[in-house]
């Protein structure tokens, strides 16, 4: 206990000294690399996503503005996730910018593993929406290739289980607290889809390169 | 008998056994239906683990299967794996591995309870939250809220402190487990005090 305590104290002290002294370019690069390795432990060794006890989303090719907005949402508890709240809390703004730019430029193949029975139905929802259920075409905002733009996320190649989890649990995990954020744009769409429609569109986007 | 002498004795016994079992096993042609006794010699009669041989009872079957394959292919390569499990799996075919994995997975596991109680609370905090400033990932995200594991991600709860500690040290020392594993990156930033705390906490989980 005490040895771990002192070990953590030493780490904190090193951190404080290195911050106050200003980091050299080399140690700064090492610091970014160590943080990237940390993110990739959970998000996959090439940012392609990973199936742990919980699904860890693909970050590869993600829009930088979106990635940054979500890290802020985790810290401010507008988006509830205990794991990512801790992770995001420890990141400086310049670190966030460096990580976002790195992930944006990764391009591994989609991880796969989604059921293939309703891909055609999923494509239809993605391209045309479900007019009778007030669901707009996803492509209108997320792009016809599903790669997103600025604060609108890339969906292409995303883990099937993760997308299903987000769309079925939207109102419980996103847009929490009093201030309104960008998650409100998606709320009615997520709400108006049935479970099987969500599964179909999640399977379809998971296959997009 | 102290733990050291006991495991030294067991190690000697195991060496004799592995020398005996290896030629016996190779004599069987094709894919043998391996008798469970070949395994429980070392892993304990109810597979709860014995000295250096870890508990297999209650482990995720998909995990047991991937590790057996990895021993068979000589990919999992730490000194104890080489010395004992390479020969134990030398003639183990995929079907036999699957059968053994399914069998051991159904035995109810008992916790080793051999950690340091004073470190358990610290270990639990690292397990659940990681140490983000030190780039230590929360184990919880992959191994689950009660360290029960899922699919080919192993149950950690109740494994012995000795075994857990050795495993966590081996990745940082450059030994391999299975291709593409996230564990080398997980283990790299762990200091020995953190490994000690994690191993203690996990040994008590039912």
Cβ proximity of A8 and A15 under 8 Å: no
What pLDDT does residue A76 have?
94
Asked if residue B194 has pLDDT above 50, the reply is yes
Average of per-residue pLDDT across A90-112:
97
Query: What's the CATH number where B191 sits?
Result: 1.10.760.10
pLDDT digits (tens, 9 = 90+) for A58-89: 999 999 999 999 999 999 999 999 999 999 99
A19-28, A48-57, B4-13, range with the lowest pLDDT: B4-13
Instruction: Please check the confidence at residue B63 and state whether its pLDDT lies above 50.
Output: yes
The closest CB to that of A41, out of B134, B137, B194, belongs to B137
**pLDDT > 90? residue A2:** no
Residue B99 lies in a domain: yes
> For residue B113, is it left (φ>0), alpha (ψ between -120 and 50) or beta?
left
Mutation for A interface: B126, B139, B140, B141, most A CBs within 10 A = B141
User: Is A184 in CB contact (< 8 Å) with chain B?
Assistant: no
Please, what is the end-to-end C-alpha distance for chain B in angstroms?
A: 26
Q: pLDDT of B161-170, one tens digit each?
A: 999 999 999 9
With cut-offs at 50, 70 and 90, classify the pLDDT of residue A5: very low
Q: For B8-17, write each residue's pLDDT tens digit.
A: 444 444 443 4
Chain B residue whose CA is closest to A4: B193
Query: What is the distance in angstroms between the Cα of A90 and the nearest Cα belonging to chain B?
Result: 6
Tell me, yes or no, if A86 comes closer than 8 A to chain B by beta carbon.
yes
Is B191 in contact with A40 (Cβ distance < 8 A)? no
Which contacts of B22-30 are long-range, i.e. CB under 8 A and separated by 24 or more positions? B22/B87, B22/B88, B22/B90, B25/B87, B25/B88, B25/B90, B25/B91, B26/B90, B26/B91, B28/B91, B30/B93
Lowest-pLDDT choice from A16-30, B83-97, B141-155: A16-30
**Interface predicted TM-score (ipTM):** 0.86
Higher pLDDT, B11 or A193: A193
* B157 shares its domain with B96: no
**Cα(B63)–Cα(B98) distance, integer angstroms:** 10
Tokens of B40: 């429980």
Q: Determine the average pLDDT of the residues in B73-89.
A: 97
pTM of the predicted structure, to 2 decimals: 0.90
| Structure confidence at residue A179 (pLDDT) | 85
Chain A residue numbers with beta carbons less than 8 Å from the beta carbon of B134 are: 8, 11
Number of domains present in the structure of chain B: 2
The range of the structural domain enclosing residue B73 comes to 30-105
- Residue B81 is classified by DSSP as I
> Distance of alpha carbon B121 from its chain centroid, rounded?
23
Nearest CA in chain A to B135: A38
Contacts of B153 in chain A (CB under 8 A): 52-53
Minimal C-alpha gap between A113 and chain B (Å):
14
Least confident of A187-196, B13-22, B36-45, B130-139: B13-22
**Fold of the domain built from segment(s) A27-207:** Cytochrome Bc1 Complex; Chain D, domain 2 (1.10.760)
Q: Which of B62, B83, B105 is the last residue of a domain?
A: B105
Q: Is A178 an interface residue toward B (CB < 8 Å)? A: no
Domain co-membership, B121 together with B196: yes
Judged by a CB distance cut-off of 8 A, whether residue A8 touches chain B is: yes
Q: Do A53 and B134 touch (CB under 8 A)?
A: no
With an 8 Å Cβ cutoff, is A87 touching chain B? yes
Residue B83 lies in a domain: yes
- Quote the radius of gyration of chain A (alpha carbons, Å): 19
Residue A144 confidence (pLDDT) above 70 = yes
- Does residue B206 belong to the interface with chain A, where contact is any CB pair within 8 Å? no
Last residue of one domain, picked from the residues B76, B105, B134: B105
Shortest distance, CA B144 to any CA of chain A (angstroms) = 5
Each residue of B90-149: pLDDT tens digit? 999 999 999 999 999 999 999 999 999 999 999 999 999 999 999 999 999 999 999 999
Same domain for B125 and B96?
A: no
* A91-95, A115-119, B24-28, B93-97: the lowest-pLDDT one: B24-28
B72 and B143 together in one domain:
no
For residues A89 and A71, give the distance between their C-alpha atoms in angstroms, rounded to a whole number. 8
**Backbone dihedral region of A126: left (phi > 0), alpha (psi from -120 to 50 degrees) or beta?**
alpha
Band of the pLDDT at B44, cuts 50, 70, 90? Answer: very high
* Mean residue pLDDT across chain B: 87
Residue A8 has pLDDT above 90, yes or no: no
Residues B198 and B133 grouped into a single domain: yes
Q: Which residue of B has its CA nearest to A41?
A: B182
Show Cβ contacts of residue A119 under 8 Å, excluding neighbours closer than 6 positions. Answer: A200, A203, A204, A207
Q: Does B141 touch chain A (CB under 8 A)?
A: yes
Helices (H), A44-92: 64-75, 82-89
Count CA within 13 A, CB hemisphere, residue B55. 25
């Amino acid at each position: 206990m005490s040895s771990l305590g002192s070990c953590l104290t030493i780490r904190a002290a090193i951190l404080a000294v290195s911050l106050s002294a200003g980091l050299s370019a080399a140690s700064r690069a090492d610091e970014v690399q160590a943080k990237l390795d940390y993110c990739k432990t959970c998000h996959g060794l090439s940012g392609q996503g990973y199936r742990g006890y919980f699904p860890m989303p693909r970050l590869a090719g993600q829009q930088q503005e979106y990635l940054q907005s979500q890290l802020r949402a985790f810290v401010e508890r507008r988006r509830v996730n205990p794991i990512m709240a801790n992770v995001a809390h420890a990141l400086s703004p310049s670190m966030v910018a460096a990580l976002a730019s790195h992930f944006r430029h990764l391009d591994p193949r989609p991880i796969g593993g989604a059921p293939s029975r309703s891909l055609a139905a999923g494509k239809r929802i993605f391209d045309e929406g479900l007019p009778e259920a007030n669901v707009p075409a996803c492509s209108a905002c997320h792009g016809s290739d599903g790669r997103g733009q600025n604060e609108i996320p890339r969906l292409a190649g995303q883990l099937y289980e993760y997308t299903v989890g987000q769309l079925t649990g939207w109102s419980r995990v996103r847009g929490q607290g009093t201030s309104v954020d960008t998650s409100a744009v998606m709320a009615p769409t997520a709400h108006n889809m049935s479970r099987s429609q969500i599964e179909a569109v999640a399977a379809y986007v998971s296959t997009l390169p | 008998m102290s733990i050291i002498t006991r495991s030294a004795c067991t190690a000697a016994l195991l060496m004799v056994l592995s020398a005996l079992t290896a030629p016996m096993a190779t004599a069987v042609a094709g894919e043998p239906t391996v008798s469970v006794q070949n395994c429980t010699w070392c892993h304990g009669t109810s597979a709860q683990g014995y000295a250096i041989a870890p508990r297999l009872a209650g482990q995720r079957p998909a995990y047991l299967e991937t590790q057996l394959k990895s021993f068979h292919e000589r990919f999992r390569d730490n000194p104890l794996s080489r010395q004992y499990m390479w020969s134990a799996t030398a003639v183990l075919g995929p079907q036999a591995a699957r059968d053994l994995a399914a069998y051991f997975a159904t035995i109810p596991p008992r916790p080793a309870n051999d950690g340091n109680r004073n470190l358990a609370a610290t270990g639990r905090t690292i397990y659940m939250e990681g140490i983000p400033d030190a780039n230590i990932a929360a184990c919880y995200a992959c191994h689950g809220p009660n360290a029960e594991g899922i699919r080919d991600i192993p149950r950690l709860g109740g494994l012995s402190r000795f075994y857990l500690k050795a495993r966590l040290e081996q990745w940082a020392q450059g030994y391999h487990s299975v291709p593409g594993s996230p564990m080398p990156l997980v283990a790299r930033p762990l200091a020995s005090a953190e490994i000690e705390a994690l191993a203690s906490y996990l040994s008590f989980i039912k």
